[in-house]
Structure 1
Amino acid sequence: MSWAAGYNNSVAYTTGYYQEQSPTWLKAALVMQRIAPPAEGQFTYCELGCGQGLTSLILAATHPEGDFYACDFNPLHVIAASAIRNDAKLPNLTLLENSFGQLADGEVELPMFDFVTLHGIVSWVSDETRAQIVRFLARYLKPGGVVQISYNAKTACAQVQPLQRLLTMHANNRGENWAGAAAFAKELVDTGSLHFQRNPDAAARVNSFATSDQRYLVHEYMHEQWTPFHFTDIANELTDAKLVFAGSARYGQMQPVAWLTDAQAAVVAEIRDPMFAEEVRDYFCNRSFRSDIFVRGKAALNDVRLREHAKRIHLWANVKVEYQPTAKLEHASVNRSEEAHRPLYDLLRRAPEMTLDQLFDAPELAGHGIDTIMQIVRFSLAVGETSLRYGDVQPRAAADRLNTVLLDQAERGEKWDALASPRFAGGVSVGLLDQLLIAPLRAKRDPKGALTSEIDEIVMHVERSLSNTGLNLNVGDRITPREEMPAAIRKILADSGPALLALCDDNDFWHGK
């Protein structure tokens, strides 16, 4: 077998950021499920299969107290991440070009880790490689350590396996790339293939190919191995590393979930085995992807210990999201209790920031117990009304340096999909055009004033960036001609400038502020 071990390395992976891999996010998620997180202070962290490394770059920049390692066996990925790391001067990030087998066998000198994260990796590798991952975790995860692992879930993805096989077989048989295989699958859908008629989720995926990032599609489907898993199968494999399921990394999936009907909740309540109950919930929502947290040593938090950690969980309102009496959560629309949910919404909009412990004692939430308040908070987080961070905001110098480098890369036509936010202790998704608009504003002492007093310079700067990179400026479905570009940029800044300033204010993107 080649060094790629069945993984498609024909193109570099996308440059996404995944908040669920953040150590502070994981600490908060554990506390919100009454599980003790790792101790405060210095920590070690490893991302297995880091792609082009944006998640680890942002986490290293926003967690200067952490010692980060990120591994990927594709040299293109390691080269890209190393260039950004070096330019941003992030001494707490070590990038490794090694296979999981080499790491599991101790061929690289590594510390013991407090956190290990894997985004999607186990669904794309062989049984042998998964066994190497388990051996790595058994060898290098500390007692009390945390593992975040995300993967394709069998309940919804089982019907997609024939599509994945169709795509890879067509590519190999015809010697064609993704475009040819995708066109062939679309031809089968359009000519009335009974398989796609009876498997509408698979047909919907084919129909979405035209509007999706091709790099993502290649890495999602074009592997020799593409395996969705039942939750209990993953949990059983991880027992060899003494890992125990601690809960979800996603607030909408934490127990008790809000979207079960009364009849469904009654079914789950009759199941004595909590692991089987967790898997049954996947059937009720037809889940296609899971993001789970496992720990080596699961210590429950009593009320006293919970309150100690609740003092470290900071919450604030996402002012862009309005309160909805009926909110979309996963697959379902959930009717909310006005008496329970609205007071939290209003309270967080009156205060710039509160701790979870303060919410426990808030008069507006009197009459609700601690666990009920946590359920309300989890719901608010899941629908995007509320943001959180575990711990204090860390020194921002490294985040400033990284954002400077990422914005400079954007002006060269390189697409990195997020910027580092000290307030979130992680990353925030920012589109390429917004990054090109932020770059000249961020260099100004008074960005708000510069939108009027220095607008000509800013427009010229953005126009030059678009021209140098060969990027088009699309307004609706129309590509803006070069001669119309200054007027179009000026209009965008006039219409969206205040929102852009608010984005930078809310996420603490301004340099040195």
Structure 2
Amino acid sequence: MQAPAAYVTDRVYPSYFYPESQPLWLSTVARLRGLRGPDLDRAYRYCELGCGTGFNVILAAALNPVGHFTGVDINREHIELARALARDMGVRNVEFHCRDLQGFVQDNTVAFDIANCHGMWSWVAPGVQRSILEFVARHLKPKGLFCLHYMCHPGSTAMIPVHQLFRSMARQGKGDSRAAVARGLEAVERLLAAGYYDDQPRLRERLQGLKRADADALAHELLAEFFSVHHAGDIHWLAAQAGLSFIGSSEPFYNTDPALCLPSDMHPLLESDSSPAFVETLKDMGSRRPHRSDVFQKNAALPDARERREALDSLVFLYDGAAAPDFPAIATPLGPMTVSDEAFLRLAELARTDGRVAFRDFAAALPAGTADGRGVQAARMMLHAGLLRPEQPEASRAGVQRLAAIDRLLAARNVGLRLRRDCASGQFLRTQAW
């Protein structure tokens, strides 16, 4: 999305599907905060900035026939592949633009309900980052949702010199980006063998994993001219200048009460009036997650009691017991956690009985006054575990035959993903690779 000299263009970025960027999932994040975002039962528009080969936004379009989807990328080969894939899949409610972001921001005349920017922010120049914020300031509708993925401190702090190592080796060597990646990996192997990272076990494990990663993905992530790691508070301040309010993570675990998503030895640091930026900093320090996927709302306002209740009551969840066979033990970024709260167990029981559960019915089964607190926490934790998935209303679902044809194409191309019309998302059969 930036000038070609600053971004890798000789390798095609691998295609990935991101469930946490799908319209229904982002809407669910908002509604669990008591906020009503775009109405997904009526015509809406979704834009993906830095769409790569379009795989994610094409599947989003296929799963959500009510919406119209737009993908933007600077790499012409990416856009040509995206258009060809959309034709092969028979997906017509998606369009692609081969544009640099600054030009797209200036020329675009369409207002969007949802925008997504994944795998781009931390790899582009500051000027392009400003264009991303200008895009949402000018072209995202009021109450619209914006999902922004970026690398964060302290989980990715140690990767800054690693990126510089790869970039330096690329500048001094010959050959294409794959050759540069190979030289960088060889250097990393030598450093690991010499014991340079023995005192940083997390980083050592991460570096050891590089040799198993896709070489073209590494080219884009480690050879781009720019690489930036950010504090959440800084990003949230910048977003606020564009009229955006942080409403949570697209990863539900990090939206649970700090008593759940923070290590116990951090609890004494919390106070009743701790600022959101302080709490998010503690979450990043406690989990040491390498990246964040933050959800913002344009011109957001605190909901009153009625608005909050309406947002929550609009939620319906599907049950998938196979996702967490050891429940009430759940895997979390902080390690295994055994759920014992009555609200969690009650939600699981209701969902398991009928295969689905409306939040309204779940709230009625809880002690008075606890649905907004413990009830919401239970839903978030169940979504994190994969035991629950938001249900797509029948009237907004994609056609059975349409998705079956796409599933056959995915299987023929050995892609370990199958689409689910009931939750407008995908189910991975194995690690995805297109």
Is the structural similarity TM-score above 0.5? yes
Query: What is the 5 A alignment of 1:459-474?
Result: none
Cα contact 2:79–2:96 (8 A) shared by 1: yes
Displacement after TM superposition at 1:391 (Å): 3.9
Amino acid at match of 2:206: R
CA distance 1:240–1:178, change in 2 (3 Å):
same
2:47 aligned partner: 46
Matches of 1:220 and 1:200, distance apart in 2: 22
Matches of 1:425 and 1:389, distance apart in 2: 8
Cα contact 2:318–2:351 (8 A) shared by 1: yes
Runs of 4 or more, structure 1, over 6 Å off, are 432-435
Displacement after TM superposition at 1:202 (Å): 2.6
- Report percent identity of matched pairs: 23
2:381 aligned partner: 379
CA RMSD of aligned residues (A): 2.5
Q: Does 1:82 align with 2:83?
A: yes
1:135 aligned partner: 134
Displacement after TM superposition at 1:350 (Å): 0.9
Give deviations 1:98-137, integer Å, cap 9, x for gaps: 111111222xx43111111011210111111111111122
Cα contact 1:27–1:390 (8 A) shared by 2: no
Matches of 2:36 and 2:298, distance apart in 1: 11
Matches of 1:57 and 1:136, distance apart in 2: 21
Cα contact 1:313–1:356 (8 A) shared by 2: yes
2:125 aligned partner: 126
Matches of 2:213 and 2:432, distance apart in 1: 18
Amino acid at match of 1:337: S
Cα contact 1:310–1:356 (8 A) shared by 2: yes
1:155 aligned partner: 154
Secondary structure class of the residue paired with 2:279: helix
Amino acid at match of 2:214: D
Q: What count of residue pairs does the alignment treat as equivalent?
A: 426
Q: Does 1:346 align with 2:349?
A: yes
1:448 aligned partner: none
Q: Does 1:185 align with 2:184?
A: no
Matches of 1:172 and 1:271, distance apart in 2: 49
Displacement after TM superposition at 1:52 (Å): 1.3
Cα contact 1:259–1:334 (8 A) shared by 2: no
Q: Which range moved further: 353-362 or 323-332?
A: 323-332
Cα contact 1:310–1:355 (8 A) shared by 2: no
1:254 aligned partner: 255
1:222 aligned partner: 223
Displacement after TM superposition at 1:417 (Å): 4.9
Q: Which range moved further: 346-355 or 120-129?
A: 346-355
Matches of 2:388 and 2:430, distance apart in 1: 21
Amino acid at match of 1:332: G
Unaligned runs of 5+ in 2: none
Q: Which range moved further: 114-123 or 275-284?
A: 275-284
CA distance 1:2–1:16, change in 2 (3 Å):
closer
CA distance 1:228–1:354, change in 2 (3 Å):
same
CA distance 1:87–1:434, change in 2 (3 Å):
closer
Displacement after TM superposition at 1:366 (Å): 3.9
1:145 aligned partner: 144
Cα contact 1:259–1:333 (8 A) shared by 2: no
Give deviations 1:394-443, integer Å, cap 9, x for gaps: 2433x7435524633653xx4545333211112222449999xxxxxxxx
Query: What is the 5 A alignment of 1:98-497?
Result: 98-106=99-107, 109-175=108-174, 176-193=179-196, 196-257=197-258, 258-269=260-271, 272-320=274-322, 321-337=324-340, 339-362=342-365, 365-366=366-367, 369-370=370-371, 371-389=373-391, 391-392=393-394, 394-397=396-399, 400-401=401-402, 403-405=404-406, 407-408=408-409, 410-411=411-412, 414=413, 416-431=415-430
Unaligned runs of 5+ in 1: 436-513
CA distance 1:178–1:433, change in 2 (3 Å):
closer
Secondary structure class of the residue paired with 2:336: strand
